Structure 1
Amino acid sequence: MSHVSGDLVRRYVNGDNGIPADQVWALEAHMETCASCRQLLASHADGIAPLLDTVWAGITPAEVPARRRRLSTWITPAGFPWVGTIILIAAVAMLLDTLMVLDTSVVLLVAPVAPMLGVALAWNKKADPMYELVAGTPRAGLELVLRRTVAVLVIMIPVLFLAGLPGRASPALWLLPSLAFTAGALTLGLLIGVTRAAVVLAGVWTLVSVAPALAENDLPHVLLPGSLPYWALITVGCVAVLGLRADSFARLLR
């Protein structure tokens, strides 16, 4: 397989407007699938740093602290409002548990899919304003997806734990399902994109489990302690598939 020339990469990272559009398109397409050329792109630090400054300037009018720039390797800058929205959903579920008299906790019904919705931002073109630069780094792919997934889980799991205290939603019942849905979204995302996969799985969960549980005022069978081994098997299976298909995440999916 032929690789991109060093001179073309240098011109690209320095914003040379003289590169024909078809060559730019071919270069960017090649970078998404070639790790060695992405590493060559990353080696041109003098050219990449000004591009990063330009992108960050477009995100916020104020100067962005270096600490927040480091944080962006764990979560996209555009992801903070999304994560905030998911935290708000957890807070509303906690409020419903406090005000409503139900035999099952609303937080317990929401918790399995809440982190997954945040993970939908892990590797998405529309949610990442620095997509072109991110796709050109040696860490692009499954490693970056997992870093951002861990960041979402670190935020959401404690939030859901606290939200579940009033309704006594035991983390023992929703933690494994939550991990299974998260891994499932990444696995299904290999076919249709992580965002679409998260939306599909959340919709199925709502129709199959949440709606009947609220209508019957009873805990779904899939959240009973006896179902936990099955959730564990689903999680392990999805992680195995991700390990075998790691290269598929070298390209951002919508």
Structure 2
Amino acid sequence: MDTDIDQMLDLMDRTFRDFEKSMPSKPEFMKLSFGMAFRFREKDIYQAMIQKLARVQSAVRAARLLLINGFVQEQAILQRTIDETNEDIMFLVYAVTNDTITDLHKRFLEAFWEEEIDESGTLLASKQNRIMIPRKKIQAYLANIEGVKLDLATSEDTARTISKVYSGFVHGASPHIMEMYGGFPPRFHTNGMTGTPRMEEHSDDLWNYVYRSFLSYTAVAKALGAEKHVEILNKHLVKFEQNRGMRQ
């Protein structure tokens, strides 16, 4: 397995623990309609970033475990989650670094903090109806912010194309399922695909997802004003990119 992936994950782990410790307020064990649970009381944008980092860190580690055991289709399904979580992180970061929390951010955060169970206290009786922000609106916002060096339409189209590719894995489209078929004699590989050509391509894919998650950590460090972490992460980022042939 790629040693750079191990190092990126380790740096992300240590960075996350530093961010977690430095938070001015921690989750509280409080009474809700359905019982006791840990929740943030303030519900600010920085707490949302930390939670999204926790999600992406857990998800990339899970994707790595799936790859090691040959479950590359399931890895691809999880990578759709990683994609969207990294988009969410950058969406929140730009609200801070650009000093503009838009109405779109406010609606996103309102949906993010909403409980799954309302005052009824039970899932079956709950009338909760979370209004999710369409993914295309978040992608359009990011394309507009990041589009200084990129054509805006191309940036949006690229994000949508990646989402569509992995949608086939998520929803079980036939062409994607048929990637599980092959060998001598041909059969469906339902116990993982170790030893098949699919392993190499999905291994390369995982590197990209860990790398992009690493960039999210650097972005959050900037939003938090954690300059020492930015310096350390960027120093290692140069090495990872050099090892990958992305820079001289």
Alignment TM-score > 0.5, same fold: no
Of Structure 1 and Structure 2, the greater strand share is in: 2
Q: Decide which structure has greater helix share.
A: 1
TM-score band w.r.t. shorter chain: under 0.3
Q: TM-score, normalising length from structure 1?
A: 0.25
TM-score (norm 2): 0.26
